[in-house]
Chain A
Amino acid sequence: SYELTQPPSVSVSPGQTARITCSGDALPKQYAYWYQQKPGQAPVLVIYKDSERPSGIPERFSGSSSGTTVTLTISGVQAEDEADYYCQSADSSGTYGVFGGGTKLTVL
C-alpha cells in the first residue's frame, strides 16, 4: 500500500525555522495537506493543496512541493508550535487517503 515518509522528530530553538519533509511517490500527482495535533486534541489543518494556508493559520506556516517531496516550513518558531505534525495525501488514483507517520516538533 501507498506510504508517506516523515522524519520522526525535528528540534529547533525559538525564533528559528523548522522544516518538516514528507516523501511519497504520488506527490507529484496528488496534493499534500498538513495537520498540527497537540496532546489530547483533534488535528488542525494548517496547509492545504501543498502551499495554501487556511484562514486563521499564522503566516509563519508555509508549504512547498518539489517532485516527490513536500515540505512544511515554520518560520520564527514559537513555543506554542510544539506539536505533532502529519502530512496527508491520496494514492495516485485519488481513491485512498494516507497519512505520514507524523513528526514531533520540539521547541528547545
Chain B
Amino acid sequence: QVQLVQSGAEVKKPGASVKVSCKASGYTFTSYYMHWVRQAPGQGLEWMGIINPSGGSTSYAQKFQGRVTMTRDTSTSTVYMELSSLRSEDTAVYYCARSESWELSGWGQGTLVTVSS
C-alpha cells in the first residue's frame, strides 16, 4: 500500500534551517508529483510547493521563494523540504502529499516544526 513516512519533530531557533524528509513506498516514486503543505496551529492548510521526482523540477509558492528548497533522492524514494531563515511564524505541521496532477491523494503523517528561542 502507498505510504509516505516523514521524519520526526524538530525544534529550531529563529534564523536556523530545517530539513524534513518524506520517504515513499508502495508505488513508482517517479510517477507522482510530491507537494509540501503546512498547517500552523489552529490555522488552515497552506500550499508550499511541488517537486517532480522524475526530473527534479520544482515550483514554489511565491511566499516561500528564496527560503524553501525541495529535492529528491530517487535511490531511496525520498523527497526533502528545507526551509531556511526560520521565524516563529514557521511553527507548523509540515506534510508531504503525492499527486498525479493536483489531487493530493496520499499524505504523510506530518512533521511538527517548532521555532522558538
Interfacial residues, chain A to chain B (CB-CB below 8 A): 1, 30-31, 33, 35, 37, 42-45, 48-49, 54, 84, 86, 88-90, 95-102
Q: How large is the interface on B (under 10, 10 to 19, 20 to 34, 35 or more residues)?
A: 20 to 34
Q: Does B9 contact A (CB under 8 A)?
A: no
- Contact partner of B104 (CB less than 8 A), chosen from A1, A31, A88, A102, is A88
Q: List 25 A-B contacts (CB under 8 A).
A: A1-B61, A1-B63, A33-B102, A35-B104, A42-B95, A42-B108, A42-B110, A43-B107, A44-B107, A45-B104, A45-B105, A48-B105, A84-B44, A90-B102, A95-B59, A96-B59, A96-B61, A97-B35, A97-B47, A98-B47, A99-B37, A99-B44, A99-B46, A102-B44, A102-B45
Q: Does B50 contact A (CB under 8 A)?
A: yes
Interfacial residues, chain B to chain A (CB-CB below 8 A): 35, 37, 44-47, 50, 59, 61-63, 95, 97, 101-105, 107-110
Q: 11 new A-B pairs (CB below 8 Å) besides A1-B63, A86-B45, A99-B46? A: A31-B102, A33-B103, A35-B45, A42-B95, A42-B110, A45-B104, A45-B105, A86-B44, A96-B59, A96-B62, A99-B45
- Contact partner of A99 (CB less than 8 A), chosen from B47, B59, B109, is B47
Residue of A nearest to B45 (CB): A99
Question: How far is B102's CA from A42's CA once the two chains are assembled, in angstroms?
Answer: 17
Q: Smallest distance from the beta carbon of A15 to chain B beta carbons, Å? A: 28
Contacts of A95 in B (CB 8 A): 59
Residue of B nearest to A31 (CB): B102
Q: Smallest distance from the beta carbon of B52 to chain A beta carbons, Å? A: 12
Q: Smallest distance from the beta carbon of A55 to chain B beta carbons, Å? A: 10
Q: Quick one: given A1-B62, A42-B109, are A96 and B104 in contact (CB under 8 Å)? A: no
Contacts of B95 in A (CB 8 A): 42-43
Contacts of B62 in A (CB 8 A): 1, 96
